[in-house]
A and B are shown apart, each in its own frame.
Chain A
Amino acid sequence: EPEVTQTPSHQVTQMGQEVILRCVPISNHLYFYWYRQILGQKVEFLVSFYNNEISEKSEIFDDQFSVERPDGSNFTLKIRSTKLEDSAMYFCASRAAGVDTQYFGPGTRLTVL
């Protein structure tokens, strides 16, 4: 069964450094998403992406964040200058056209020191 994959599973970085989180969505899916879950809190929407542009973004997704689909398979989330409060589990999700179900990857745990 096809699945969403994410790398790395755990990323540790110093405050102020740039990080790139990588996702490979399910191959025939056209809609891509990033969510985050701060430890012990609810899962929060960050951004949705379709046809090479952002469809929606939340208040969390400020100028420090960017997304890109650099090729036909990868979908990345970049945080330009990480802050301590960016420490969270980041989930990528994708869905096919015409259906409402999103499929999630296993997540990347980001720890900012």
Chain B
Amino acid sequence: GNSVTQMEGPVTLSEEAFLTINCTYTATGYPSLFWYVQYPGEGLQLLLKATKADDKGSNKGFEATYRKETTSFHLEKGSVQVSDSAVYFCALTPNNAGNMLTFGGGTRLMVKP
């Protein structure tokens, strides 16, 4: 079956530090890959996505590249802000009729001023 593995948190960084959150996946076929973010007390918001190999998704300074050869979709940001503190979820959908999302366990990011 499909699965997503993320690095465990919490990840604690100082403001303006470089961020990497690792994500690897197992899936048949050619899934679409997503990063969702959950700010404290809120629901899940789509951060970025990529639908095919070598695509790069980007939004709000965050980037992730769909690497089929390493089955990875690592999230990066060059300079984090306190407001980026949240839980980040990597997810995939197999692009079948149901399109259910399979999520990783989430990584909590804490950014200190």
Residues of chain A touching chain B, judged by Cβ–Cβ distance below 8 Å, are 31, 33, 35, 41-45, 48, 50, 55-56, 58, 91, 93, 95, 100-107
Residues of chain A within 8 A of B106, CB atoms compared? 42-43
Q: What residues on A are CB-neighbors of B105 within 8 Å?
A: 41-42
> Which A residues touch B91, using CB under 8 A?
43
- The answer to whether A103 and B98 touch across the interface, beta carbons within 8 angstroms, is no
Check A45 against B99 for contact (C-beta < 8 Å).
no
The interface size of chain B toward A, counting residues with CB under 8 Å, comes to: 24
**A interface SS class:** strand
Question: In the complex the two chains form, what is the Cα distance from A106 to B45 in whole Å?
Answer: 9
- Chain B residues near A93: list those with CB within 8 A: 44, 101
Q: Which residues of B contact A42 (CB under 8 A)?
A: 89, 103-106
Complex formed: what's the CA distance from A45 to B97 in Å?
15
> Do B51 and A105 have beta carbons less than 8 Å apart?
no
Once the chains are docked, how many angstroms separate the CA of A95 from the CA of B99? 10
- A48-B99, A100-B49, A101-B49 known, 8 other contacts, Cβ within 8 Å: A41-B105, A43-B91, A91-B43, A93-B101, A100-B51, A100-B99, A102-B99, A104-B36
Give CA–CA (A41, B105) in the complex, Å: 7
Residues of A within 8 A of B34 (CB): 101
A108–B82 alpha-carbon span in the complex (Å): 27
**0/1 per residue, B77-108, Cβ < 8 Å to A?**
00000000000010101010111111111100
The interface residues of chain A lying within 8 Å CB-to-CB of B44 are 43, 91, 93, 104
Contact indicator B43/A106 (Cβ below 8 Å) = yes
Asked if A48 and B46 sit within 8 Å, CB to CB, the answer is: no
Docked pose: A106 CA to B39 CA in angstroms: 11
Residues of A within 8 A of B104 (CB): 42
A sample of 21 inter-chain contacts (CB < 8 A) reads A33-B100, A33-B101, A42-B89, A43-B44, A43-B101, A44-B103, A45-B102, A48-B98, A48-B100, A55-B97, A91-B43, A91-B44, A93-B44, A93-B101, A100-B32, A100-B93, A100-B95, A102-B99, A104-B44, A105-B43, A106-B43
